[in-house]
Amino acid sequence: MKRTLSCVGVCLLAVLMCSPCAWGKTIKIGFNIPLTGDIPKVGEESKFAAEMLREDINGAGGLEIGGEKYTLEFIYEDNESKAESAVSAALKLIERDQVLAIVGPNSSKQAVPGGQVCDDNRTPMISPWSTNPDTTKDRPWVFRAAFLDPFQGPVAVDFAMKKFNAKKSAVLFALANDYSKGLAEIFKADFEKKNGTGSVVAFESYGDKDQDFSAQLTKIVAAKPDFIFLPNNYNEVALIVKQAHDLGWKGPFMGADAWGNSELMTLCGDDCIGHYFSTHYAAAGATGATQEFIERYQKKYGYEPADVAALTWDATRIVLKGLQGMGKVTGKVRKDRKNLREAIAGIAEVDGITGKMKFDEQGDPIKCAVVVRISEKGEFVFTESVCP
């Protein structure tokens, strides 16, 4: 028994040791994404989009850097949608896998601590989806492909004031989520600046893993706001919207980019129809390269990709552009990482499928946001676009 066990152990070890040394010239890029946990669909879409890009490049013989072709190797590490796992996943990618750059984490809850690790370890990181300013703030090694909450919050405020004639609003946010909390605070500050103090009549929070929001919603409904702002992940949105309707709420909701997920409508159903949220791109009625991406993705995986898939595509392409800008790969990981960081920081403008982006000195792109409406068919329909 003991011998069999040790035999299996040795075999496993041998397999583990051999797997990373695929011969030939490869470049390793790590993905720190949530494949399980609260938002598994986000991780899945990220992975699928990255796989599509990898097949494109490797199918064409690899990425050309300084006259030599390199095949790409993508390593997907699950961060379980948890902050602490995002840290260990980032460390694993940096130390065990010796990747040149990391794409992700997606949600700000993981991207803020993950960014710290990458910055400390001098590894370039680009978050596709994180909108919290803290992710890139004073971190020269961290970049992103999404717009920021200080831009998104006012977009939601202006849209709601125009569309619903809103004078009073209510907010329900997740306290343990950097994204949700940050955006809720930015929204509150901007709404009160434009409508006077006290115009946010209810500012309620809930904890991790909560599924009953009836007490908070009772407070919100009793305060009679003109609309409810929900900067929450799609799985929680589905519960909140249903429970608010159970408590007799008939007014509108306004959401943010974490709503934009292909799973929102299967979880939420008819309750979400007719509401609005701000996001990075609108899949319905897209044109050009965006449309081409959506069609390819849909054909390959069977459903329409959400913003996170498109942003991962863009983020990974920024990394690839940086790699090409490096000139040559020395083979020394630390030096290559440094060169890559400088190459990415030197990129002035990228024409991505989520729009044109220019980077400021913090590594944040300056790009447009769109507001979409959830149609009767469950599609996210373009309503308006706001540019900085």
CB 213 within 8 A of CB 172: yes
- The distance of closest approach from Cβ of residue 89 to another protein in the complex, given in angstroms and rounded to an integer, is 15
Region of 4-12, 102-110, 238-246, 313-321 interacting with another protein (CB under 8 A):
238-246
Nearer to another protein, 77 or 263 (CB): 263
Region of 118-126, 154-162, 209-217, 285-293 interacting with another protein (CB under 8 A):
209-217
Region of 50-58, 182-190, 201-209, 364-372 interacting with another protein (CB under 8 A):
201-209
CA–CA separation, 207 vs 163, rounded Å? 31
Query: Nearest 5°: phi and psi at 62?
Result: 110, 180
Nearer to another protein, 214 or 330 (CB): 214
Nearer to another protein, 190 or 271 (CB): 271
Q: Is 207 in the site for another protein (CB under 8 A)?
A: yes
Q: Is the peptide bond before 105 cis (omega within 30 degrees of 0)?
A: yes
Strand arrangement of the beta sheet that strand 365-366 belongs to: 349-352, 355-359, 365-366
Q: Which of 50, 267, 326, 344 binds another protein (CB under 8 A)?
A: 267
CA–CA separation, 328 vs 147, rounded Å? 31
| CA proximity to 176, closest of 233, 119, 256 | 233
Q: Is 246 in the site for another protein (CB under 8 A)?
A: yes
Q: Is 289 in the site for another protein (CB under 8 A)?
A: no
CA–CA separation, 203 vs 294, rounded Å? 37
Number of residues that bind another protein (CB under 8 A): 34
- The distance of closest approach from Cβ of residue 161 to another protein in the complex, given in angstroms and rounded to an integer, is 26
Question: In the 8-state DSSP scheme, what is residue 134?
Answer: G
Question: In the 8-state DSSP scheme, what is residue 64?
Answer: E
Nearer to another protein, 8 or 175 (CB): 175
| CA proximity to 312, closest of 11, 111, 42 | 42
What phi-psi label fits residue 282: left (phi over 0), alpha (psi between -120 and 50 degrees) or beta? Answer: beta
Q: Which of 28, 40, 88, 342 binds another protein (CB under 8 A)?
A: 40
Q: Which of 10, 14, 175, 289 binds another protein (CB under 8 A)?
A: 175
- The distance of closest approach from Cβ of residue 168 to another protein in the complex, given in angstroms and rounded to an integer, is 17
Q: Which of 9, 20, 61, 269 binds another protein (CB under 8 A)?
A: 269
What b/e sequence results for 315-332 when a residue is b if at least 16 CB atoms lie within 10 Å of its CB, and e otherwise?
Answer: bbbbbbebbebbeebeee
CB 221 within 8 A of CB 188: no
Q: Is 212 in the site for another protein (CB under 8 A)?
A: yes
Q: What is the largest CA-CA distance in the chain?
A: 75
- The distance of closest approach from Cβ of residue 259 to another protein in the complex, given in angstroms and rounded to an integer, is 15
Provide the token pair at 312. 């991962």
| CA proximity to 368, closest of 349, 351, 387 | 387
- The distance of closest approach from Cβ of residue 13 to another protein in the complex, given in angstroms and rounded to an integer, is 23
Q: Which of 71, 88, 195, 205 binds another protein (CB under 8 A)?
A: 205
Q: Is 235 in the site for another protein (CB under 8 A)?
A: yes
Q: Is 41 in the site for another protein (CB under 8 A)?
A: yes
Q: Which of 35, 72, 310, 343 binds another protein (CB under 8 A)?
A: 35
Q: Which of 148, 157, 238, 311 binds another protein (CB under 8 A)?
A: 238
Q: Which of 178, 263, 307, 314 binds another protein (CB under 8 A)?
A: 263
Torsion of CA 357, 362, 363, 369, to 10 degrees: -40
Q: Is 215 in the site for another protein (CB under 8 A)?
A: yes
DSSP three-state, residue 371: strand
* Sequence letter at residue 333: V
Residues paired with residue 386 on neighbouring β-strands, in sequence order:
369
Nearer to another protein, 212 or 349 (CB): 212
Q: Summarize as ranges the residues that interact with another protein (CB under 8 A).
A: 35-38, 40-41, 44, 175, 204-207, 209, 211-212, 214-216, 218-219, 221-222, 235, 238-239, 242, 245-248, 263, 266-267, 269
